[in-house]
Structure 1
Amino acid sequence: MKRIIAGLALTTAAALATAAPAQAAPADPVKALKKQFSAGHGVRVSETSRTSMKGESMATTKTSATLAFGAKGVVASDIRNHSSKKDSFASIFAPERMVTVGGFQYAKGGLFSEDLPEGKKWVRYPGGEPSGTYNQVLDIFRPKVLDALVTRAKTAKGGTYSGVISYKDIAKLYGQKPDKLLGKIEVKYALGVNAKGLVTRLTTDWALDFGVLGKVRSQTETRYTGWGSKVTVKAPPKSEWIDIAELGPDAEVPKEIPDNSINSLGTVK
């Protein structure tokens, strides 16, 4: 009888081991990201950012972008912006389209297309590091940033990492030092990844209290699609752009392209 019971126990254990599928370890988002860094390939980004003050909507900005990768990250970008309100910061000071490639930034639309010589549609600015974000405060294409979001997450369920990170810590990841006002901001985030560990969605929510002026709140949702697709970002035709240095000091065109992320609200030293 003991042999029969022992035999049944072994048989049952073997059956359970066979029936239960092996649990694969979750893919590492940082490693998955770095594997995407290959010349000629990239990703598409779509984003909706909502800004409110004292609980009332100020503007909703929709952004779409094509990002091109190199061996170490984003090397070129083509970004388009559309704001729901013409008098908002995004529509007045931010270009409707911005191309960053080859060490230059090309801006078009709004103030950037006013007071230009006939036939010119773009203004070229020197420098400008291509970025994986515009309205989004967290740039997941920086491995250090992505790693921080994963490792600091308070919960990780269903492929979503959720947590809170201060802007002081975010600035450190970017190698910057914010002023005291910005450093106090707490950014709530939810980072979604697929089975391969690639980021598919990022939402952030933060607020800044300006005292008597009221509290400003920003909520941004960014989606990432087409990982690994073939991407080419080209500069506008030379006949259509003029260098900022060629425009006189009295030109109404902005002397630089403002940062529409959280940095625009304060001083980064």
Structure 2
Amino acid sequence: MKKTITVVAACAALSVVAAPAQAAPKDPVSALKAKLVPGHGVRFTETVTWSDGTDQREVQDRKGVFQFDRKGVAAFDITIHWDDDDYGRQRAVGVGKVTYHNGGVMPMVLPEGKTWYKVKRFGVPDSYGQIINPAEPRTLAALIKHGKPTASSVTGTITFKDLKQVSPWWAGANAEKSFDGTKVSYTLTLTSAGLVSRVQSSFTATQDGKLATVAVDSRYSGWGSKVSVKAPDPAKVTTDFR
């Protein structure tokens, strides 16, 4: 199965929530801002499921960490494990405005002695990544605005365009403008303190000419704990292929 997908601009299965938004008893945005301290962050694990209506399978599991600055995410380190051996384990490390990729096909395409490939992009590292980032205050505020909050969750839909306007994480993916109308459904689960403990999102995509849905289930823990993400050894980094 190919690992590259192309997002389509229509998703009939996902509908905009018509009920008016209500204020959650605990303010998630204020709760998040209180945790945005440089050198601190949050850890997460997630699973990625692919389905085409007749077949459904888990294609990836991931674990990672976001490191904060006072505005949101300043760095990330994500390890990706595929469900088969074609790609094996991959790793993506983002620092500043760049992302470094390791593993997967890299050993076969990078020059000898180089193990990390650097791209001038900071955001969702691949097409199966969680595009909803609950560590961004503006993103969280938009998800509440577009959704229906309760005491323990927020459920709704948001277009790629609206998400791109508030989320550096998604804007950094550089999705083509032709996909701006695509809708993503989401459910945020909140702790009693108003922090996000889980994000479930899904959108429809084309793969081999067929419609398929990619669903990502992410769980977050240790909000505000000390973390440290560092760029790889420059001697091991390249921007070239063989």
TM over 0.5: yes
**1:28 paired residue number:** 27
- Within the candidate set 188, 198, 201, 1:201 is matched to 198
Give the number of equivalent residue pairs: 213
Q: Are residue 220 (structure 1) and residue 213 (structure 2) matched?
A: no
Q: Do the aligned partners of residues 54 and 236 (structure 1) sit closer, same or farther apart at CA in structure 2, a change above 3 Å counting?
A: same
**1:114 paired residue number:** 108
Q: Which runs of 5+ in 2 are unaligned?
A: 1-23
- Return the offset for 1:135: 1.1
Of structures 1 and 2, the one scoring higher in RCO (CA 8 A, sep 6+) is 2
Q: TM-score, normalised by structure 1?
A: 0.69
**2:137 paired residue number:** 143
RMSD: 2.9
- Return the offset for 1:38: 0.8
Using the alignment, how far apart are the partners of 1:39 and 1:216 within structure 2?
39
- Return the offset for 1:104: 3.5
Residues 76 and 102 in structure 1, CA contact (< 8 A), matched pair in contact too: yes
Using the alignment, how far apart are the partners of 1:138 and 1:194 within structure 2?
17
Q: TM-score, normalised by structure 2?
A: 0.75
Using the alignment, how far apart are the partners of 1:135 and 1:115 within structure 2?
22
Bigger proportion of residues as helix: 1
Q: Deviations over 1:50-95 (max 9, x none)?
A: 11224323652111111111121111111110111345xxx49xx7
Q: Secondary structure, in 3 states, of the residue corresponding to 1:144?
A: helix
In our comparison, the structure showing a higher alpha carbon Rg is 1
Tell me the percent identity.
32
Bigger proportion of residues as strand: 2
**1:12 paired residue number:** none
- Within the candidate set 157, 170, 174, 1:164 is matched to 157
Using the alignment, how far apart are the partners of 1:105 and 1:179 within structure 2?
22
Alignment of 1:171-210 (within 5 A): 171-174=164-167, 179-180=177-178, 182-208=179-205
Q: Secondary structure, in 3 states, of the residue corresponding to 2:105?
A: helix
- Return the offset for 1:44: 0.2
